[in-house]
């Protein structure tokens, strides 16, 4: 029995609320239970120097967490004067995940900057961030389409992410903070709407695990992402 | 006529929503129209080194703004590697304002860390931050009182803030972004519930102004803070 | 009775010594009693990127304090690797104050960099800095006028600053360090030669104060700035 | 046919040279073809603050690359003033991988600092680093055993790593730089000597891939790590 | 003929003005012609961590230059966020030079922090800094002696410094900025009052030079330091 | 008798191994006994901004030390976020030394970046670095000559460096770490193949020394550099 009372293959209550920002071209507040991540997409004319003249656009991401998003307050990264390794790792992951489903040739030499800021954390912030960021990115492209800057939305598939882990020896889907803290293994899967793999990050927390366990985690993730894909579809339709 | 259709002495719609954070001991989402600031108060045992053994507590504040809180995206301070002068100035102001109404002898050698994070900006973020931070601080003290850590809430008065400015030659209350951008003078007033002055910051944006103008701005501020004080009282009662 | 024996409305001995730097286009050593601030103005062809092509010039300021300018040595900001919040706040104030009396259209796309460095501190360093910086700025413009780069000096008024405070319950003018340390309220006023307000920063140090007190402080400031304006006039005439 | 002429499941020539440092308690120069990584293990009495009094030791790692280890010179991280996201990500991975096979209770409150410095790079630097770091760590524990600081070596298994990828549509083992640059998918597997999974990092570079492809990559990795495990065993025996 | 009209072995006009700071325990304004360096010595109880319990004191130095001390304005190191290599090199030199004539056993576990700040530069700032810093250090020890913290001044000799160089093929003493800019070789000599060598830094600017040239430069330096030693003696006597 | 059994004027075993890097245009592993420094030279089209249009090239250097190159591990400069004063001082010295024998007019507007990384340290790392860097620089120029980018190698002489010191009252050549730690004086000499002086850095470690001692150290250095010059010649011939 999981602390939250959920079944092993049951996601938390997921809400993807699009269009929450007055200013951003695309935005989504992604809630996986008590984990709340605000995702915005900002369009900028021009690309970084190394891409100029290529005719291609760029999608990149930054990630942050409010200091008291967590159980105990964490230091503010701006005050410490640098982003930690975990932050850099997550924002690189978000950027790669979105670019894997984006046709960079399809929107000219423009940059889309994704910002994922964790307003409240209860485990799985990076997976909520990727899932919400996709909705914000879609919205930003839709903004460009409506403004006639592009003819069609340059996305080849949708992308979403979920965590799975081995808790008390059992594979479970979508860990909250309590489970995450005691998991023997922890894996984040980024999959497309069609079920293809974009990124896998699996880590043995306390002791190594076998290949069969890994397979079970991946199977759970496929189920979770299918549900998230539906929620993304609904958010975009209603946006 | 103001762009928003408000009268010269009319505040934006103000909502102070207490208890919005799952984790923080005190919290308040302060909305002044489209300006939304999330304020949390975190209690920490112990005080900074220079105060150890004094028997007194400490209240301090940090301020931040999400990159796309604004009309155009601003650089993330954590990524730039330092907080800008404006950020430091504002967070120092918030801390001083709260300490001016706090009895530091009244809660032992503990620290209360206030975090004010601008989720969405439309002018007046520092005044919304101070106004909401007071509610979060009150809640944190109430948390301590309920936990029997203190007997009574060590606040000598309430504190709130509002901006006033000279726009098109007219003194107006509670400037939004559009007014702020074109103001000839801009002033932030931090006042107590009893109407005393805690802090005044007045700046001639384009050209110097006379003493009578300053007096008019202060009179407007007194009216605005009276309204904010009522909203704070209601938020705390309902908290 | 004040520690220095001065009357409540009496400034310290003020000396504005122009032309003290072998290299700078404009310079002034401003002494308010034992507070000594070296102000230089450096002319640079060109303006920051965001102003290029505007036809306008720019005036900006930096502020620093020698480590042992103070009673006890402070850390060197260059060694710590960043300027503190107080430093950034003061240098922003100096820059705004000077720009408020400068016609930026009047000297082409050039930058004037003001440096205010506190050689010795005894309270009121920011007000001495602004007062001396005006003289250095005037000199730099005069240098340009003599070099035929401009026809007339693009200043619309003079600007000077003084601190006032509530010490032992009495409003007093031009606080030295000893008074500043024990003041109940502390205010810095930046006023023009014609008596207009450029900037007000008033802070309740220990407890909030009322509007009548504020009015008294402002009246004192007007008297002090009148004296400083005369000293600036004399320094420039003799320069 | 691979650029190097290797078969799809063929590792580069691997040399693990132990005991290469005059000063370090443990060391190993790991060569995977033209990728050369110098790994040292330094024993330090004491543990980081958050672990003091726990009776447990700590193993941590840092990673670096000489500026001209690569085809074109990269900026020196010390000169840039910070470690990049890739560096932080890799050093976190190395530390986690080693801790997964270390019994932290087994060597008292001591720290072992692993340094992995890439002397020359030709793809797969993180996998060579982990593989060599295990040997250096073993040596450092052996140093402690010989010095009678511990009775037995607190390692529960060996650990090694290898990269696999999809190149020209074919799954291949142990990518060199040329293959890495053109791979459709790229995965790093950290496995124990017994074949358990410690860490998986798989990334779709250009387009998402399916589950069967992932399975093929993992099978290749198992074969590669078996070979690396033998090389580690030989290096330690001869050490 | 030198640009300044001086003979090859002639120092600039040297003035060592002691006791110029209201706050510092020791101070000296050292002027070598138009090069003006303010040197202060600050006494601090306690020593850095690595010296605690040793019974020995410590002397260390920091060096800085006001941005417009030079012909063209240099960037403020505090604003750039770090001290440059030249600054670090000079302050290390000043510290070593003073420690070479200080008996660290002779004043308990106290630190003396020397600050050398260049108010105006015209070549030879590091040599003026060392020469003035010795006077400030002497004064600080004298302050301790008068306060009965020590019985005698723990200095084994005096120390002073001068630059020499090869200008237009001729060895000359005490280069000003104009000579320094065109010198073929440039050397700084730190010598004691008794004529012993503390530090030599000689550099070929444009082309290597021979041993005889070096000998000539050293002979000039001995003459210059003898003069500086007299000036130090006079400053201390009059202090 | 020296700890190593060497005669006072005897160098350690010196090996200059050229062409050790797969990627760099020039490289040399310089070994002075147990001090091993990897030197690479990287050619870059273009020069720093301040030299553009001058028709001249540039040679610059960076220096680093692996954390466990030393007896006890030192902090990684990249992780600390800045290069220390010693590092900056050494890399400035290397750059100056090489430029003193380079004809900057002779290879167009190109930059050569030297990297000297200490793989293992046992005293004299800066002198080994300079000596090896010359070989790497020569090789890089030879690479350009073979590629027909230049007609002849723009070096006016060779350059090498050695340390000398006063140990137990005796002048000795090429100090290892043990001698360096106990030396009364320590000097680094950078000399050309023809015996001219490029740079002298002499420091009294514990007490000042006389001119005759300095002369003895220089004479030893001349002998040592003659030997190093031969080794450089041999390395280049064989390269």
- D113, F73: Cβ pair inside 8 Å? yes
For chain A, strand residue ranges (E) read 14-18, 26-32, 35-45, 58-65, 110-120, 159-167, 170-173, 185-192, 197-204
Q: Give the chain B residue nearest A114 (alpha carbons).
A: B68
CA distance E93 to chain F (A): 9
Give F205-220 pLDDT, tens digit per residue.
878 999 999 999 999 9
CA distance F74 to chain E (A): 15
Residues of the domain holding B45: 14-238
Mean pLDDT of A29-48: 97
ipTM: 0.95
CA distance B179 to E213: 72
Could you tell me if A214 lies within 8 Å of chain D, comparing CB atoms?
yes
Give C85-108 pLDDT, tens digit per residue.
999 999 999 999 999 999 999 999
Domain annotation covers residue A3: no
Give D137-155 pLDDT, tens digit per residue.
999 999 999 999 999 999 9
- D200, A204: Cβ pair inside 8 Å? no
Residues of chain C with C-beta less than 8 angstroms from the C-beta of B200: 187, 200-202, 214
- E208, F201: Cβ pair inside 8 Å? no
Residues of chain C with C-beta less than 8 angstroms from the C-beta of B187: 200
**A199, A207, A209 member nearest D204 (Cβ):** A199
Determine whether the annotation assigns residue A80 to a binding site: no
Give D92-130 pLDDT, tens digit per residue.
999 999 999 999 999 999 999 999 999 999 999 999 999
- D88, A92: Cβ pair inside 8 Å? no
Domain annotation covers residue E4: no
Helices (H) and strands (E) in chain D, counts: 5, 9
Reference E133, options E107, E158, E164, E104; nearest CA is E158
Q: 5-44 in B: which are within 8 Å (CB) of C? A: none
**C101, C196, C204 member nearest B199 (Cβ):** C204
Domain annotation covers residue F118: yes
- D196, A218: Cβ pair inside 8 Å? no
CA distance B98 to chain A (A): 19
Domain annotation covers residue F142: yes
The set of chains that have 3 or more CB pairs under 8 A with E is C, F
CA distance C45 to A26: 42
Share of chain D above pLDDT 70, in %: 99
Domain annotation covers residue B124: yes
Is 50 exceeded by the pLDDT of residue D239? no
| Phi–psi pair at A82, nearest 5 degrees | -165, 155
Domain annotation covers residue C5: no
B47-56, C160-169, F24-33: least confidently modelled range? B47-56
The pLDDT confidence band at residue E184, using thresholds 50, 70 and 90, is very high
Is 50 exceeded by the pLDDT of residue A220? yes
Could you tell me if A86 lies within 8 Å of chain B, comparing CB atoms?
no
Residue with tokens 């286009």: C25
Higher pLDDT, D49 or B106: B106
- D120, F23: Cβ pair inside 8 Å? yes
Q: Give the chain B residue nearest C210 (alpha carbons).
A: B196
- A40, B117: Cβ pair inside 8 Å? no
CATH, residue C22:
3.30.230.70
Mean pLDDT of D164-169: 95
Q: How far does CA D151 lie from the centroid of its chain?
A: 26
Both tokens of A214, joined, read 């890994």
CA distance F131 to F190: 9
Mean pLDDT of A149-169: 97
- C70, E42: Cβ pair inside 8 Å? no
**A89, A156, A202 member nearest D197 (Cβ):** A202
CA distance B203 to A16: 43
pTM for the model: 0.93
Mean pLDDT of F124-133: 98
Could you tell me if E80 lies within 8 Å of chain F, comparing CB atoms?
no
Looking at the DSSP bridge assignments, the partners of residue D42 are D113
CA distance B21 to B142: 15
- B208, C85: Cβ pair inside 8 Å? no
Q: How far does CA C68 lie from the centroid of its chain?
A: 20
pLDDT for the residue A205 = 82
- E201, F198: Cβ pair inside 8 Å? no
Residues of chain D with C-beta less than 8 angstroms from the C-beta of F69: 23
The set of chains that have 3 or more CB pairs under 8 A with C is B, E
Q: Residues F222, F225, F227, F231: what is their CA dihedral angle, to the nearest 10 degrees? A: -160
Indicate the number of domains in chain B.
1
Could you tell me if B130 lies within 8 Å of chain A, comparing CB atoms?
no
pLDDT for the residue B239 = 47
Give F73-106 pLDDT, tens digit per residue.
999 999 999 999 999 999 999 999 999 999 999 9
Higher pLDDT, A150 or F238: A150
Determine whether the annotation assigns residue B125 to a binding site: yes
Q: Give the chain E residue nearest C40 (alpha carbons).
A: E68
Question: CB neighbours of C53 closer than 8 A, spacing ≥ 6?
Answer: none
Higher pLDDT, E82 or F39: F39
Is 80 exceeded by the pLDDT of residue D177? yes
pLDDT for the residue A237 = 87
What stretches in chain B show pLDDT beneath 50? Answer: 239
Domain annotation covers residue A191: yes
Is 90 exceeded by the pLDDT of residue C239? no
Mutate to test the interface with B, among A38, A68, A84 (most CBs of B within 10 A): A68
- Look over chain A and give the mean of its residue pLDDT values, rounded to a whole number: 96
Is 80 exceeded by the pLDDT of residue D67? yes
Residues of chain A with C-beta less than 8 angstroms from the C-beta of D92: 85-86, 89
Mutate to test the interface with E, among F62, F191, F203 (most CBs of E within 10 A): F203
CA distance B1 to F163: 80
Give C138-154 pLDDT, tens digit per residue.
999 999 999 999 999 99
CA distance C136 to C128: 12
Give E198-213 pLDDT, tens digit per residue.
999 999 987 899 999 9
**F198, F213, F214 member nearest E208 (Cβ):** F198
CA distance B234 to B193: 13
Residues in chain F: 239
pLDDT for the residue A239 = 47
Contact C14, C232 (CB under 8 A): no
Give C2-47 pLDDT, tens digit per residue.
999 999 999 999 999 999 999 999 999 999 999 999 999 999 999 9
**F92, F156, F157 member nearest E85 (Cβ):** F92
Judging by beta carbons within 10 Å of its beta carbon (0-12, 13-18, 19+), is residue B100 exposed, middle or buried? buried
- C115, E67: Cβ pair inside 8 Å? yes
- Look over chain D and give the mean of its residue pLDDT values, rounded to a whole number: 96
pLDDT for the residue D161 = 98
Mutate to test the interface with A, among B73, B94, B133, B140 (most CBs of A within 10 A): B73
CA distance C87 to chain B (A): 9
- D68, F120: Cβ pair inside 8 Å? no
Determine whether the annotation assigns residue A6 to a binding site: no
- F44, D73: Cβ pair inside 8 Å? yes
Determine whether the annotation assigns residue A124 to a binding site: yes
Contact D69, D177 (CB under 8 A): no
pLDDT for the residue C196 = 97
Mean pLDDT of D45-67: 94
Q: 94-123 in C: which are within 8 Å (CB) of E? A: 113, 115, 117, 119-120, 122
CA distance A228 to chain D (A): 18
Q: Could you tell me the sign of the dihedral formed by the alpha carbons of D202, D208, D211, D217, in that order?
A: negative
| Phi–psi pair at C186, nearest 5 degrees | -145, 130
Mean pLDDT of F106-122: 97
CA distance D118 to D39: 9
Q: Give the chain F residue nearest E99 (alpha carbons).
A: F206
Mean pLDDT of F36-63: 95
Strand ordering across the sheet containing A185-192: A170-173, A159-167, A185-192, A197-204, D197-204, D185-192, D159-167, D170-173
Is 90 exceeded by the pLDDT of residue E2? yes
Paired sense of beta strands E110-120 and E58-65, if any? parallel
pLDDT for the residue F239 = 46
| Phi–psi pair at A22, nearest 5 degrees | -65, -30
Q: How many CB atoms lie within 10 A of CB C237?
A: 8
Residues of chain E with C-beta less than 8 angstroms from the C-beta of F191: 208
**A23, A81, A120 member nearest B21 (Cβ):** A120
- E196, F210: Cβ pair inside 8 Å? yes
How many CB pairs (< 8 A) connect C and E?
92
Mutate to test the interface with A, among D204, D210, D225, D229 (most CBs of A within 10 A): D204
**D85, D96, D196 member nearest A203 (Cβ):** D96
Domain annotation covers residue B1: no
Give D181-225 pLDDT, tens digit per residue.
999 999 999 999 999 999 999 999 878 999 999 999 999 999 999
The pLDDT confidence band at residue A86, using thresholds 50, 70 and 90, is very high
CA distance B132 to B18: 9
């Amino acid at each position: 029995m999981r602390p939250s009372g959920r079944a092993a293959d049951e996601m938390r209550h997921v809400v993807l609320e699009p269009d929450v920002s007055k200013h951003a071209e695309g935005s989504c507040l992604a809630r996986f239970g008590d984990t709340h991540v605000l995702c915005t997409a900002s369009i900028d004319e021009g690309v970084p120097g190394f891409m100029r003249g290529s005719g291609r656009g760029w999608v990149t991401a930054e990630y942050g967490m409010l200091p008291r998003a967590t159980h105990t307050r964490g230091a503010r990264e701006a005050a410490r004067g640098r982003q930690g390794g975990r932050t850099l790792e997550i924002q690189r992951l978000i950027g790669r995940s979105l670019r894997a489903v984006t046709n960079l040739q399809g929107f000219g030499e423009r940059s889309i900057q994704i910002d994922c800021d964790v307003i409240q954390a209860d485990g799985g912030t990076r997976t909520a961030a990727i899932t919400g960021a996709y909705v914000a990115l879609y919205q930003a492209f839709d903004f460009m389409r409506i403004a006639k800057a592009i003819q069609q939305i340059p996305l080849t598939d949708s992308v979403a992410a979920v965590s799975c882990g081995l808790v008390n020896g059992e594979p479970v889907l979508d860990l909250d903070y309590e489970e995450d803290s005691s998991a023997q293994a922890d894996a984040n899967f980024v999959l497309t709407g069609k079920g293809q793999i974009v990124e896998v990050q699996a880590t043995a927390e306390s002791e190594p695990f076998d290949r069969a366990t890994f397979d079970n985690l991946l199977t759970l993730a496929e189920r979770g992402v299918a549900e998230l894909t539906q929620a993304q579809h609904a958010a975009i339709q209603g946006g």
